[in-house]
Structures are given as C-alpha cells and as structure tokens.
Amino acid sequence: MEQDTLIIEGAGGKRLIRGTVQVNGSKNDAVQAIAAGLICRTPLKLENLPQIDDVSKMLALVERLGGEVKRGKRSASILPPANLAHPKLDEEIAEKIRASILFSGPTLARYGEVTFPHPGGCVIGERPIDFFLHGFRAMGARVVDEGKGYLIRAPRGGLRGATIFFKNQSVTATETFLMAALLARGETVLKNCALEPEIENLVNFLKSAGGRITGLGTTTLTIQGGKPLSPKRAYRILPDRIEAGSFAIMGSLLAEELKLTHCEPEHLEALLNLLGEMGIGVKRGKQSVTILAPKGELKALKVKTHEYPGFPTDLQAPFTVLLTQARGGSEVFEAIFEGRVAYAETLNRMGAKIEILDSHRLKISGPTPLQGQEVSSPDLRAGLAYLLAGLIAHGKTIVHNARYIDRGYEDIAHRLTTLGLSIKRA
C-alpha cells in the first residue's frame, strides 16, 4: 500500500461527531499571494498560510526562479530576484500544479520574458490556456508555442496596457492579468472579471502596497501601470471557504453538532442556504458556523454550480455525497467544468444510485446506504468526496492517491481523528 493512502472505518450511518474544527487559510488565496511576491520590490510577508502541498510547490517555484523564501510555521517571506535574463518556471513542479500559471503574468511583466510548461494539477475536463495567451498578445507580447510549453516575450519597453475581455469569468485569469497590469505601461481594463472573495483580498492588498486599481466589487477592473510595489503590511490569507464548506457537509452527514471556527459565514451563503433547505440546522456566528443534525430525513433538492457568489464548483462532488442520503430525487448541474461528474461512477460502486445524464448533469435517488470500497482519487475535490463517502459507509474504505486531497486539506487524517472518526494513513 502506498504512503498516500487513507484507510477509513465507516460510521455506517451513525452520527459520531460533537466538537469543533478550526478552518485554515485559503489555498486559492495563498497561491495568488505567493505569485504577487514577484511584483514587489521589498519582501512580501504572508500570514495564515495553510500547510498544504500546493503552497509548498508555489514557494519552491519562487526559489527555483532565484527568489528568497523564508518559511515560518504558518507564514513566509518572499523576496523576488532583482533581475532575471531568461526566467523559466521549473517544469517538474509547474507541471504538477495548475496554480503555477499565476506566475506567468507577474514574471513576464517584471522581467520581460517567461517560459512555462502546460500547467498541471487536477484533471478536470478541459481547462484552456487560451485566456492567458490572448491576454498576453493584447498587451503586446509575442507567444511562441514550444510544444511542451510556451515562451512569451514582452515588447521592448515592457507590456502595454490593454482592454481584455474574458469570455468566461476566470478567477486565475483575473488574478494573473491584474498583477501583470500593475507593471505594464499605461492603463489596463479587465472586463468580465471573477468576483471571488480571494480577488477582493488581493486587490485590497495591492492597493495598500501602492497599486492603482478601481472597480473592486464589479466585473470591470481598471489598473494603472507603474513600478514594482512596496508592501506596507503583511498579506493575511483569508479563511478557506471551500475547506469550511467541506467540513459543513461532513457535519451534515456525521455530526450531532459541529462548530467551524475561524471562518467567514458570508462567504458560505450559497451552501448554508442549501443545507437549511435540506433540513440541517445551521447557526451563524461572527466568525463561526455551527452545523446541527436534522430533526427528520434530509430533503432532496436541485443544485447548479455557479461563479461566486453562487454555489461553488469545488463543493459539487462533496455535496453530491450528501444528496445520496436525502429522501427523493436530487439533481446536480455542473455548469463550470465539463467532465467534473465522472467521480459518480465510483460512488455508484459504493452503493449510491446516481444516473450520469451527461458530462455536466447527475440525477440522484436516495437515501442509499453506502458500502466501503477500495477507490483512487482522480482529483482534489473528488478525492474528498470519496473520503466523505467512506466516513458514512458500512465497513472499510481505502482511498489511494490521497496526495490529491493533501493539495487542499492540511493534515486531514489527524484533524478528523481528533473529532472521533476512524481514519489513518497507510
């Protein structure tokens, strides 16, 4: 059995949890904050960093570029190299993490050139890079497809400001061009931007460091280019709303009462409202959420993923596990990523009754008891769904490729064990 294997003894439908779990810093906020270090002339200090694999890889990419990284327990300080002749992202690392694409904009804008491979990470349908190539060309850059990756060169004098319209709202593209535009010449206007809380946190920090950005809270951001920024404060990573949502779903399945602390309830509105519709008790605090066991059977419902503030695609797979325990027919429509419902075949092997209508839609009949199986994680969120399914199943579940889960959930086995669940790493 491999080291990245989790062994779970299922609760068999029993509610075993009564306790508290603390939500860690956001993976999605941390990776963009690390990339932002490349557009700063003085060290960028990061606080509330989660200790997860994606963060380690992003910090390693800074070091491989020649930057200095000082690590603390939940913090880091980043000082980028002053000059780079031919900056190239480390292929071995960048190919394993989708967020590596975030370095493309800041590196190109600051050093005039960047070479990077096709970004890796979870395989979730088609995740095109054309947003980025189109945007870089609009800013005057020359793009060379080298087969395994891309070489991009800024025009003489640096990137030029441009108006860029994203044909679909993209968090990563919004973040990448927001950072690149701060070092470009002139004004850049980004249209159809994503509205996630992590982008708001990034913009507020960049403005505090001297960035000139308007339009926060809207889908159009206007950026005035200039010189590298000088941070006047540390960048504090937001609580991870996806981790908080995952624990809320787990509590809905397994808890008599579970309190989530160090979170932002307003970032969880879409999920918490759906839990309430299903009959689950939800108490909101200032920086906490308490999940209470339903008084009757869980109610079936229809769910459609949507960009923030809608229901997040990253919670779709875990939420489907919850719907297998609801009375009646539920439906899931994955509106953002094609093929992000393939994990349902494995849940069916565990006893679920899920009809895969197409690459975007599921029809679920419940409630159905689940039976432990040996499964393999195909990606981060599906892996977490298998873990949740194993926790409520009868018997033993073995989850291979748990390294995918480690990308977004810190020390998951230990944290769940302290709540009274039976899970260990092989």
| DSSP assigned state of 211 | -
CB-CB contact of 377 with 386 (8 Å): yes
Closest Cα partner for 177 from 204, 199, 150?
Answer: 199
47 closest CA partner among 80, 16, 92, 78: 78
Say if residues 305 and 279 touch (Cβ distance below 8 Å). no
Cβ count within 10 A of residue 205 = 22
Catalytic pick among 40, 122, 193, 263: 122
DSSP 141: -
Residues 6+ apart with CB under 8 A from 63: 69
Question: Distances in Å between the alpha carbon of 295 and those of 279, 301, 306, 325, 330?
Answer: 7, 17, 29, 14, 20
Catalytic site residue 122? yes
Contact indicator for 300, 329 with CB cutoff of 8 Å: yes
**What is the per-residue burial (b if ≥16 Cβ within 10 Å, else e) of 355-389?**
eeeeebebebbbbbbbbbbebebbbbbbbbbbbbb
Residues serving a catalytic function are: 122
